[in-house]
Structure 1
Amino acid sequence: MATKIVMPKLSPTMEEGQLARWLKKEGEQIAPGETIAEVDTDKATMEVTANTAGVLRKILVHEGESVPLGHPIAIVGEADEDISALLTEVEKSPGGEKVKQSAPAAEERAAREERREAPSPEAPSNGERGAERIFVSPIAARMAAEAGINLRTLKGSGPGGRIIKRDIEAAIEASRQAAPRLAEAAPAQPIPSEAAPYEEVPLTEMRRTIARRLASSIGPVPHFFLTTEIEMDRAIELRRSLNELDPELNISLNDIIVKVAAAALMQHPQVNASFQERAIRYYKQADIGVAVALEDGLITPVVRAANLKSLGTISREIRELAERARARKLKPEEYTGATFSVSNLGMFGIDEFTAIINPPEAGILAVGAAQPKPVVRDGEIVIRQMMRVTMSCDHRIIDGATGAQFLQTFKRLLENPLRLLI
């Protein structure tokens, strides 16, 4: 009996998924538990497995398209089974118009897209050509952005002319072979006077979720900000000494900051909290979210119970989590449920910034770069490595004095990191 495969819930915060890639084609046999597709969720690329055996009779959602949870994405049945009634049921369901649009044969879709992409002889040269939509898979879009490839110069080989991963790989290889010829002086190009052309790339589920969650944070959550400056010389010396003792540790300043933040949270439990509808929840351990920049967004893998772990363990965990985050291989439980977060842009040369709280956490630390500055010590001007940090606080939980006391403890520990051993 033919059945529908629906968009599954692959992460706790997922509301819809973007079909990244089909691993099975229409007409192919599938087995229960077999991976048939990859879906881009709000945080990672996850696998969709079949829950029944049979033949993949109809693909209802094509690569690059997004649908809500529970929406049918394919039909599985026997090879000669009539699925017309099931198709009609899907078309009449909410959002079924997407299925109707996807129903024509692949050749008809390709022909329509080719006609749409073909420039009209009468098309004005005022930038309107650049406003046409480009059909590209999320993976291909990320690869093109990283390689600096103009998607408008490519013709996709995917369904309906969609630009997919192999098209970007071919373009990268072609650019390498053409590099010697490009070294020759190019003729001067006329400067256009019309509006700048542009290209539109569909939002990934990660970027859509970031936009939705941050909008729900900066408005409803009453932020206030506290900034302090910290002398980092002893922390830098501690890092150097530990890495000299064991080069495989490869401890970073950010690892020390995470450890110190966890220790400070244990001394100020009112900061290690979250706002609930009818209560404030205070956590017994410090689960620190560490912001990691991705090509198309941001994710905060969580170091669980950082207050109980050594610097070496924290360092290894952060590196492993960051690597899997960039490969979009994190499990949902590895990037949800932090009690406090740290966002460090110091490695990018940023002196100071403010960060937006990730609900339901009560605070986040924005860490700038440690730089040599003249300061007064014992009546003399000396050079010290100074770092500015700004704490964003949820005023429903943290009052000004509470946040200031936490920052005092954080500063005292970071300026004298050997206190962690006491």
Structure 2
Amino acid sequence: MAIEVVMPKLGMSMKEGTVSFWNKHVGETVNKGELLAGISSEKIETDLEAPVDGTLIEIAVQEGNGVPPGTPICFIGNPDEKIASPVCQQTEAVEKRGEDEAAGTNGVRKSASNQGMSNEKQSIKVSPVAKKMAEKAGLKLEQLKGSGPNGRITKEDVLQAIEEEKNQKLEQESSAVNQDPGSVNKTHVSGMRKVIATRMQESLLHSAQLTINMKADVTDLIRLQKSLCEELQDEIRLSLNDFIARAVVLTLKKHKNMNSALINDAIESYKHVHLGIAVALEKGLVVPVVRHAEACSLLELSKTIKSHGKQARAGQLTTEQMSGSTFTITNLAFYGVEHFTPILNTPESGILGVGAATDTPVFVGEELQRRSILPLSLTFDHRVLDGAPAAEFLKSIKQLLEKPYLLLL
């Protein structure tokens, strides 16, 4: 008997999962534990293993399509086994519906004669003006979708169809001029990439984002970091990002207006700091969350950040571990980037972008010294707070980074 493989539930809040790719084709033999497909939900990517030995006899959900958890996505059984899969059932329903529509009132199917085709055309509801316009433009009425009463094709429907056809021709001509068809490789956007694309676009559309920049002298901080690493080398290696995270948490406790969100025309301020730390993966970006970060010491914060980063790279994060953040940090220092414009992880009101520290000659009093300067970029939601309080928030982070001993308290 065929075994149905269903869409797994990757988290308590998961409503839909997407088949990112199939590793097997219909008719191929699969072994228990072998990679069968890639599954994604929200920002989670995971592998789906075959639960039994057998033959993949039916794929019910194609690549790029999403279905609720528990929905059959494929069937494994014997090579010659036949099943009534959702795909077959859907096909049968469509075919039966077509047969019913083709049948007369006495249940006898009409032949595809010229008379039948003529009757089909006559059944199309269209205004005289729209019909004349469509004929002049060379449009087939059966290909037009009517927006009038009972699906009647109107003048506006024809004008829209003409405009769409015109735009399509322009795109094709532009593509033919600018691109060699053989040099274009199209990849269907799905899974994690699709979620990120949607969220970034929604973030820009539904918030008033502004980015301000500031530089912090982290010479003393780097010196303290190296000293602590030597002392704690057997326990944990503190990174510069750990100190920055600690500075952000302490500052959020002081500037509560940044630890907030605008939801349904009301500003919600949070008592706890749930800190999101962006982690870059091969397939996209994920943001694991350090919950109740205000209760963590520097060492505890560092351990949690590293643990979450390790889980993210192994694809082991749950949906719950990537939701509920109140503020996010994204660091591009590894890539040599200095200032950049991070996009809000909505509904949060702020996100801090950290660039690469560079050695710069700086006057300290009358003396020219070599100092390590760290660029910081703060994007905030101007609907929630104005430029002055946002600048005060960023200034407070700068002051903590320039007086690193305060981060140890």
TM-score (norm 2): 0.67
Q: Distance in 2 between matches of 1:87 and 1:264?
A: 55
Which amino acid counterpart does residue 289 of structure 1 have in structure 2?
G
1:354 is matched with 341
Q: Distance in 1 between matches of 2:346 and 2:92?
A: 37
Could you give the per-residue CA deviations for residues 279-326 of structure 1, whole angstroms, max 9, x where no partner exists?
222222211111111112111111222222222222222222222212
Which amino acid counterpart does residue 65 of structure 1 have in structure 2?
E
**2:242–2:298 Cα contact (<8 Å) kept:** yes
Q: Distance in 2 between matches of 1:239 and 1:93?
A: 67
Matched residue SS, 1:328 = coil
Of the candidates 244, 249, 253, which is equivalent to residue 240 of structure 2? 253
Which amino acid counterpart does residue 397 of structure 1 have in structure 2?
V
Which deviates the most, 351-360 or 18-27? 18-27
The 5 Å alignment of 1:149-228 reads: 195=180, 197-228=183-214
Could you give the per-residue CA deviations for residues 6-43 of structure 1, whole angstroms, max 9, x where no partner exists?
53553547644124456999799999xx9975413342
Q: Distance in 1 between matches of 2:87 and 2:335?
A: 52
Structure 1 321/59 Cα, relative in aligned 2: closer, same or farther at 3 Å?
A: farther
**1:8–1:69 Cα contact (<8 Å) kept:** no
Q: Are 1:83 and 2:83 counterparts?
A: yes
Q: Distance in 1 between matches of 2:231 and 2:398?
A: 26
**1:18–1:41 Cα contact (<8 Å) kept:** no
Matched residue SS, 2:373 = strand
Q: Distance in 2 between matches of 1:246 and 1:362?
A: 35
1:375 is matched with 362
1:283 is matched with 270
Q: Are 1:327 and 2:325 counterparts?
A: no
Structure 1 413/92 Cα, relative in aligned 2: closer, same or farther at 3 Å?
A: farther
Q: Distance in 2 between matches of 1:83 and 1:35?
A: 23
Structure 1 318/281 Cα, relative in aligned 2: closer, same or farther at 3 Å?
A: same
The 5 Å alignment of 1:13-412 reads: 15-21=16-22, 38-46=38-46, 58-61=57-60, 65-70=63-68, 72-75=72-75, 83-84=83-84, 88-91=88-91, 195=180, 197-248=183-234, 249-412=236-399
**2:210–2:380 Cα contact (<8 Å) kept:** yes
**1:42–1:208 Cα contact (<8 Å) kept:** no
Which amino acid counterpart does residue 243 of structure 1 have in structure 2?
C
**1:354–1:392 Cα contact (<8 Å) kept:** yes
Q: Distance in 2 between matches of 1:86 and 1:391?
A: 49
TM-score (norm 1): 0.65
Structure 1 318/25 Cα, relative in aligned 2: closer, same or farther at 3 Å?
A: farther
Q: Distance in 1 between matches of 2:357 and 2:230?
A: 21
Q: Percent identity?
A: 32
**1:24–1:36 Cα contact (<8 Å) kept:** no
Structure 1 295/3 Cα, relative in aligned 2: closer, same or farther at 3 Å?
A: closer
**1:55–1:78 Cα contact (<8 Å) kept:** yes
2:405 is matched with 418
Matched residue SS, 1:403 = helix
Which deviates the most, 39-48 or 358-367? 39-48
Which amino acid counterpart does residue 224 of structure 2 have in structure 1?
L
Which amino acid counterpart does residue 66 of structure 1 have in structure 2?
G
Shift of 1:232: 0.3
Q: Distance in 2 between matches of 1:397 and 1:269?
A: 11
Which deviates the most, 70-79 or 40-49? 70-79
Cα RMSD between the aligned structures?
3.6
Structure 1 323/21 Cα, relative in aligned 2: closer, same or farther at 3 Å?
A: farther
Which amino acid counterpart does residue 215 of structure 1 have in structure 2?
Q
Structure 1 86/231 Cα, relative in aligned 2: closer, same or farther at 3 Å?
A: closer
Structure 1 13/281 Cα, relative in aligned 2: closer, same or farther at 3 Å?
A: farther
Q: Distance in 2 between matches of 1:198 and 1:393?
A: 38
Could you give the per-residue CA deviations for residues 47-90 of structure 1, whole angstroms, max 9, x where no partner exists?
66999x9988843247x712122364125799998633865434
**1:72–1:90 Cα contact (<8 Å) kept:** no
Which deviates the most, 78-87 or 355-364? 78-87
Q: Distance in 2 between matches of 1:307 and 1:361?
A: 17
Q: Distance in 2 between matches of 1:48 and 1:257?
A: 38
**2:45–2:192 Cα contact (<8 Å) kept:** no
1:148 is matched with none
Which deviates the most, 2-11 or 372-381? 2-11
Shift of 1:200: 3.1
Which amino acid counterpart does residue 222 of structure 1 have in structure 2?
A
Q: Distance in 2 between matches of 1:92 and 1:211?
A: 36
Gaps of 5+ in 1: 95-193
Structure 1 40/374 Cα, relative in aligned 2: closer, same or farther at 3 Å?
A: same
**2:359–2:370 Cα contact (<8 Å) kept:** yes
1:142 is matched with none
Matched residue SS, 1:236 = helix
Matched residue SS, 1:66 = coil
1:182 is matched with none
Q: Distance in 1 between matches of 2:403 and 2:378?
A: 20
Structure 1 21/277 Cα, relative in aligned 2: closer, same or farther at 3 Å?
A: same
Q: Distance in 1 between matches of 2:248 and 2:85?
A: 59
Shift of 1:231: 0.7
Structure 1 380/19 Cα, relative in aligned 2: closer, same or farther at 3 Å?
A: closer
Structure 1 14/216 Cα, relative in aligned 2: closer, same or farther at 3 Å?
A: farther
Which deviates the most, 315-324 or 227-236? 315-324
Structure 1 227/78 Cα, relative in aligned 2: closer, same or farther at 3 Å?
A: same
**2:58–2:76 Cα contact (<8 Å) kept:** no
Could you give the per-residue CA deviations for residues 189-211 of structure 1, whole angstroms, max 9, x where no partner exists?
xxxxx947243333341111111
Gaps of 5+ in 2: 95-178
Aligned residue-pair number: 321
